[in-house]
Structure 1
Amino acid sequence: MNVEMERSVSVWMSSGPVLEAPLLRSDERADVAVVGAGIAGLSAAYELMRAGRSVVVIDRGHIGGGMSSRTTGHLASALDDYYHQLIARSGIEAARRHYAAHAAAIDRIEQIARHEGIACDFARLDGYLFLAPGHDESLLHREIEACERIGYNGVRWVEHAPVPGVETGRALQFPDQARFHPRKYLAGLAHAILRDGGRIYANTPVTGFHETETGVVLTAGHNHRIHAGNVVVATNSPVNDRVAVHTKQAPYRTYAIAGPVEAGSVPDALVWDTLDAYHYVRLHPMGDGMDMLIVGGNDHKTGEAQDMGDRFADLEAWTRRHYPQLGSVDYRWSGQVMEPVDYLPFTGRNHGNHRIFIHTGDSGQGLTNGVAGAMILRDLIIGHENSWAEVTDPQRISLTAAGEFLKENLDAATHWAEHLTGGEVGSTNDIPPGQGAILRDGLKKLAIFRDESGTLHVRSAACSHAGCVVHWNPFERCWDCPCHGSHFAVDGSVLNGPAITPLAHADYQE
């Protein structure tokens, strides 16, 4: 199981192919084992095979069924955290290299799609950043100046962004952005990997890592072993690490809606505003004279909100003001992004390991970060220089991000302290059918879900990763860990890491 089993369905999950892959049923050997079959994992496998390495890929769910299928499919070298902020936090050289990585990632997707004949609706287009109401134009001035400083050529002022329902005022235009169908692209990558002798296994969760002087032994599936020279962990939030990298990033839920518009009625562009959390917009061609308008936003820290209905209503209202051509809203879904404290992803050798590599911390640009990360990991594993690797090193220390580091870890400490507070309900009678809540039972807290038949599903409320108290997500109908982003089904099964074991069973007598 993975996040594909959460309740909402994205437009990609509805319209994209499902790649069938078997369970791991025996021990395996490979030069590299890749854990995670999303954009980062499959891209890493593809790149490593092009470099002559044998590869095994495993995923706890379906191939391409994780967070990569819950994005909105933007491919942007414009930075959602802003380059002027990245320069202030990490320096101009880090910003220059990070821009180069994003731009190269878009180029690489285009090259692979063309070379492999992947019909993923890839198209180049412009991106536009416009001011939210009440925001000062100085932000845009700082951003275009930052782009000039890092060599991001072609960013320019325009009189307005292509938003048909409102007058946006002056905006920034970013050339050579792109969009595609992520699920179609992932299926194409997987087919190429299989064609060239790679092995891919679905519904095969990893349960253990053991590094030796000569390699790594993974335990996965039904206690089978994968012996590999190196391991890549590309699971949105790393499942091999309990503390180190998780103290330097935080999970956020993000929301998206999609609905039909007549083809040509909305300009084909990527669009963002400067709100925090910002809105982001794109089109996707559907054929028969119709496009799909896709809009995301209204983020919050994972586990720290239950007003998803209000957030979707607000997102739809914003969309209809700015894009009155929108017809019905046919899709509503959520995803999760990992926000690093210094705006840069964590790609490279894991803390305390020599042969285990990770990719995480994608912020709101997981697709381009994932592809760039795959190229970094390829070079690190085969021993080639990579000019981006230094700025994404998971073991880096950023003194300028100390304030954000302290804030995020104080938030985590607050959630651990919830073990000492009361429950959300005093009795299971207070939990309606189809909902969950936290109940205190003596010294422990329980995560209790009542299904539509009235049956209670009782689990420990302590996340199996690091022990934080999980929170009920009424939209996806799952338990979310607010500390590090694990998700659990109502039966306790893991849907999303870093947890690798279910919520513990718990006895409860009413």
Structure 2
Amino acid sequence: MDEQADIHGSYWLDSVPPGDPAPPPEGPLHVDVAVVGAGIAGLSTAWELARRGRKVAVLEARRIAAGVTGHTTAKLSAQHTLVYDHLRRTRGPEGARLYARSQMDAIRHAAETAEELGVDCEWEDTTAYTYAEDPARTGRLKAEAEAAREAGLPAEYVTETELPFPVAGAVRVAEQAQFHPRKYLLAVADGIRRLGGSIHEYTRITGLHEGDPCELIAESPASATKVTAHHVVVATHYPVFDRALLFTRLSPRRELVVAAPIDAARAPRDMYITQEQNTRSVRTAPLGDGRRLLVVTGEHFTPGTGQDVEERFERLAGWATDRFGDLTFTHRWATQDNDSTDSVPLVGPLHPGSKNTYVATGFGGWGMSSGIMAGRLLSERITGRDCPWSDLYDPRRIASVVREGAAFLKHQADVARHFVGDRLPTATGPSVDEIAPGDGAIVRVSGERCAVHRDEAGQLHALSARCTHLGCLVAFNHAERAWECPCHGSRFDVEGRIIQGPAQHPLEHRDL
């Protein structure tokens, strides 16, 4: 892939570039509900509340629908690999049924919203498959098909698909969908404005005082102001406020995406995923002129662990060409997800003492349906209505954390290894002179670890190497030109600016 010129980033952003940014608040802002984060969860929540007559403000640190949501694969599916067999064992048959109902409700609601807004978001009704090529895995697939069917999904076990290679078996779930997420969400944003809501970009929330009302500190490049709201929703993907200690129950995971045009006649029309080979996910999107865009996702890894991301991109592209023939890749990007320790998103009160603050996080790679579900659930809670699946997703749940103790302890051990190890003396790393153009490394300067990047022109950019969240050492991602924290997934550009939270402050500059 590195030999091919003109490779773009996210197709969703490339095909619908952002317009002029929505301005930050000009002064103190008073609203019924302040939503922090303008991805699919935040915008869906604001849309539902605005439709119910609430005065809403959406506050986004960068651009709307351009963060994690702008780098998704955009599957609207209730089939989340092997989740239903897992849920009926850990949350019981009723828990699995509520999960299925909530996810299917989200898909149907998204279709209704697209129709109500009159948006052409490339909506396509489709079928979702979780498959395996290894016959040894078919037992788990059969158990999943049975569990998904018991949960109420139109699921069945099959041995044939439209893929151009044989599979040993697959779980087939009908009545799913795929769409263009930015076209959909930009229309939702316009709908929020028409209903009297406001949207503010380049507005980073750095403080929250809970009360009635709550107060937020909103910082923009030009100034800082106060936002007062009766309710606050934190929908920043990874929560930017640590008072709930939710970071102990979330583990970040990064996945790569490659995309190439393919003749419509040989393009799969349904959605496919396998947990084999470090995950492989396939879908296509309409391009016109008898072509579709083949979108292949996989190669997940923990950010900040020094993985050779360029090699992973090559491996993913090689898998796609091996199975779909010669391809000319036009786009590649990466996405980041947060897995909860019990495999169920955390949607509800921010912490046990919350009265007016809420959170939506831990979507585990299925943020399209779960983000819309979160908007529905939170709007019900805020407006005093009952939601059948509130308890299932409630972040305050304890019993499920106990049942998933092994996953919880493993995540804490991984974080502790970095948190403690990063503070121990280590052997001397590379020198500044050894850093090649375009690369970066952690080096010692006057006894302090610094994150040093050399740009293509040879100019050096030196930063503190400690993440501003909890102080773990960052590592350089050469393929994406970013510094990444292995503890909780914060990401920074080569100038130290925040790309992704939970960090709320940039990396400090250092002199060499």
Tell me if structure 1 keeps the 8 A contact 2:215–2:226. no
RMSD over aligned CA atoms reads: 1.7
Q: Which sits farther off after the overlay, 90-99 or 103-112?
A: 90-99
Matches within 5 A, 1:349-498: 349-351=349-351, 352-397=353-398, 398-416=401-419, 417-422=421-426, 425-441=429-445, 443-498=447-502
Tell me if structure 2 keeps the 8 A contact 1:46–1:189. yes
Structure 1 gaps of 5+ residues are 1-6
1:20-55 Cα offsets, whole Å, 9 max, x none, are 312333221110011111101110000011111100
Q: Which sits farther off after the overlay, 109-118 or 208-217?
A: 208-217
Residue type of the alignment partner of 1:209: L
Structure 2 gaps of 5+ residues are 1-6
Matches within 5 A, 1:212-223: 212-221=211-220, 222-223=223-224
Residue type of the alignment partner of 1:336: Q
Instruction: Give 1:332 deviation, angstroms.
Output: 1.0
1:169-196 Cα offsets, whole Å, 9 max, x none, are 3322110110000111111111111112
Residue type of the alignment partner of 2:356: R
Matches within 5 A, 1:78-477: 78-133=79-134, 135-152=136-153, 154-164=154-164, 166-221=165-220, 222-241=223-242, 244-275=245-276, 277-324=278-325, 327-351=327-351, 352-397=353-398, 398-416=401-419, 417-422=421-426, 425-441=429-445, 443-477=447-481
Instruction: Give 1:418 deviation, angstroms.
Output: 1.6
- Inter-CA distance 171–279: structure 2 relative to 1 (3 Å threshold): same
Query: Match for residue 44 of structure 1?
Result: 45
Q: Which sits farther off after the overlay, 457-466 or 424-433?
A: 424-433
Residue type of the alignment partner of 1:453: A
Tell me if structure 2 keeps the 8 A contact 1:128–1:271. yes
Tell me if structure 2 keeps the 8 A contact 1:216–1:355. no
Tell me if structure 2 keeps the 8 A contact 1:250–1:484. yes
Taking the aligned partners of 2:303 and 2:177, their CA distance within structure 1 comes to 28
Instruction: Give 1:128 deviation, angstroms.
Output: 1.6
- Inter-CA distance 19–30: structure 2 relative to 1 (3 Å threshold): farther
1:198-243 Cα offsets, whole Å, 9 max, x none, are 1111111111111123333333322111111111111110112266
**Secondary structure at the counterpart of residue 84 of structure 1:** helix
Tell me if structure 2 keeps the 8 A contact 1:12–1:69. yes
Structure 1 runs (4+) deviating above 4 angstroms are none
Instruction: Give 1:157 deviation, angstroms.
Output: 2.7
Residue type of the alignment partner of 2:219: A
Taking the aligned partners of 1:243 and 1:276, their CA distance within structure 2 comes to 35
Q: Which sits farther off after the overlay, 480-489 or 77-86?
A: 77-86
1:283-306 Cα offsets, whole Å, 9 max, x none, are 100111111011101101121243
1:291-348 Cα offsets, whole Å, 9 max, x none, are 1011101101121243112211211122122222x53111111010001110000111
Query: Match for residue 3 of structure 2?
Result: none
Taking the aligned partners of 1:33 and 1:212, their CA distance within structure 2 comes to 13
Residue type of the alignment partner of 1:185: Y
Taking the aligned partners of 1:261 and 1:316, their CA distance within structure 2 comes to 14
**Secondary structure at the counterpart of residue 430 of structure 2:** coil
Query: Match for residue 4 of structure 1?
Result: none
- How many percent identity over aligned positions? 35
Instruction: Give 1:442 deviation, angstroms.
Output: 5.3
1:13 aligned onto 2:13: yes
Taking the aligned partners of 1:303 and 1:82, their CA distance within structure 2 comes to 27
Tell me if structure 2 keeps the 8 A contact 1:23–1:202. yes
Q: Which sits farther off after the overlay, 306-315 or 423-432?
A: 423-432
Tell me if structure 2 keeps the 8 A contact 1:8–1:476. no
Structure-1-length-normalised TM-score? 0.94
1:84-128 Cα offsets, whole Å, 9 max, x none, are 122223332222111111111111110000011011011111112
Tell me if structure 2 keeps the 8 A contact 1:17–1:183. no
Taking the aligned partners of 1:81 and 1:243, their CA distance within structure 2 comes to 29
Taking the aligned partners of 1:384 and 1:424, their CA distance within structure 2 comes to 59
Instruction: Give 1:252 deviation, angstroms.
Output: 0.6
Tell me if structure 2 keeps the 8 A contact 1:486–1:495. yes
Tell me if structure 2 keeps the 8 A contact 1:282–1:294. yes
Tell me if structure 2 keeps the 8 A contact 1:253–1:301. yes
**Secondary structure at the counterpart of residue 176 of structure 2:** strand
Taking the aligned partners of 2:428 and 2:224, their CA distance within structure 1 comes to 38
Number of matched residues? 499
Tell me if structure 2 keeps the 8 A contact 1:54–1:198. yes
**Secondary structure at the counterpart of residue 32 of structure 1:** strand
- Inter-CA distance 209–118: structure 2 relative to 1 (3 Å threshold): same
Instruction: Give 1:264 deviation, angstroms.
Output: 2.6
**Secondary structure at the counterpart of residue 56 of structure 1:** strand
- Inter-CA distance 174–219: structure 2 relative to 1 (3 Å threshold): same
Query: Match for residue 4 of structure 2?
Result: none
- Inter-CA distance 121–273: structure 2 relative to 1 (3 Å threshold): same
Residue type of the alignment partner of 1:184: K
Taking the aligned partners of 2:361 and 2:409, their CA distance within structure 1 comes to 20
Q: Which sits farther off after the overlay, 85-94 or 345-354?
A: 85-94
Tell me if structure 1 keeps the 8 A contact 2:126–2:177. yes
Q: Which sits farther off after the overlay, 97-106 or 241-250?
A: 241-250
Tell me if structure 2 keeps the 8 A contact 1:220–1:226. no
Tell me if structure 2 keeps the 8 A contact 1:80–1:365. no
